[in-house]
């Protein structure tokens, strides 16, 4: 039972990570989260920047908490890590802390609430775009190109066939018209000869 649940969760995570990647971050890092907000028929992007004070890792139910203070008002917000409404997560600064939960910042203000910076160097994304999704996207693009090319080739071949079918019809019409003209000329010549014979007999 647990294996089935884990497999389903992995599948869901792969689907959610097909178009975005999640960087590696810890408590004490300053993050900028870009959210997609839908308002009726319109959608817009909104950024929330704050210090990560807590993080919970539990597969698809992973969460992290950001805390920011603006104009004396403190706001804490919990984000699901794999939420489809999150467009992008950026690490602005990396903090030097020795705790996993920074709840002590709630009782501090001003300089006492500052966190020292720490250079951890370049870190690999914790959840990068899955290779399968990238390959599938490339395959889809190639298939779409092939389909469009085949359609254009079919259209060209159909036009050629139509032109070929039209040409013999024109030839047949031309032959019929020429035969009619010959028949007219023969009838006219026969009529003129008959008139001549009549005139000779009268004379």
Local confidence pLDDT in tens for the 203 residues of the chain: 678 888 888 888 888 888 888 999 999 999 999 999 999 899 999 999 999 999 998 888 999 999 998 888 899 999 999 998 999 999 999 999 999 999 999 998 888 989 999 888 888 887 776 554 444 555 666 776 777 766 666 667 666 666 666 544 455 556 666 677 777 777 777 767 766 666 666 55
User: Given this model, what pLDDT does residue 92 score?
Assistant: 93
CATH number at residue 119: 2.30.30.790
| Token reading at 65 | 């908490």
User: Given this model, what pLDDT does residue 67 score?
Assistant: 95
Report if residue 114 sits inside a domain. Answer: yes
Report if residue 199 sits inside a domain. Answer: no
Report if residue 175 sits inside a domain. Answer: no
Report if residue 97 sits inside a domain. Answer: yes
| Domain range enclosing 62 | 2-128
pTM to 2 decimals?
Answer: 0.59
Pure H helices in the chain: 2-16, 131-202
> Are the CB atoms for 49 and 41 separated by under 8 Å?
no
Report if residue 161 sits inside a domain. Answer: no
What distance in Å separates the CA atoms of residue 119 and residue 153, rounded to the nearest whole number?
57
Q: How many domains does the chain have?
A: 1
User: Given this model, what pLDDT does residue 93 score?
Assistant: 93
Report if residue 151 sits inside a domain. Answer: no
Report if residue 203 sits inside a domain. Answer: no
Report if residue 185 sits inside a domain. Answer: no
């Amino acid at each position: 039972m647990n294996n089935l649940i884990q497999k389903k969760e992995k599948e869901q995570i792969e689907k959610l990570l097909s178009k975005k990647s999640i960087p590696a971050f810890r408590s004490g890092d300053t993050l900028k989260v870009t959210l997609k907000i839908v308002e009726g028929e319109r959608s817009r992007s909104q950024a929330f920047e704050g210090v990560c004070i807590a993080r919970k890792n539990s597969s698809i139910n992973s969460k992290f908490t950001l805390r920011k203070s603006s104009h004396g008002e403190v706001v804490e917000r919990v984000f699901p890590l794999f939420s489809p409404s999150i467009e992008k997560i950026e690490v602005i600064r990396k903090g030097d802390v020795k705790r996993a939960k920074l709840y002590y910042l709630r009782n501090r203000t001003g300089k006492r609430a500052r966190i020292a910076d720490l250079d951890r160097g370049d870190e690999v994304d914790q959840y990068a775009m899955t290779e399968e999704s990238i390959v599938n996207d490339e395959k889809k693009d190639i298939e779409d190109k092939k389909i469009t090319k085949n359609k254009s080739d079919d259209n060209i071949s159909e036009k050629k066939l139509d032109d070929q079918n039209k040409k013999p019809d024109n030839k047949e019409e031309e032959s019929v018209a020429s035969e009619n003209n010959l028949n007219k000329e023969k009838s006219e010549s026969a009529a003129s000869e008959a008139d001549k014979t009549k005139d000779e007999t009268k004379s």
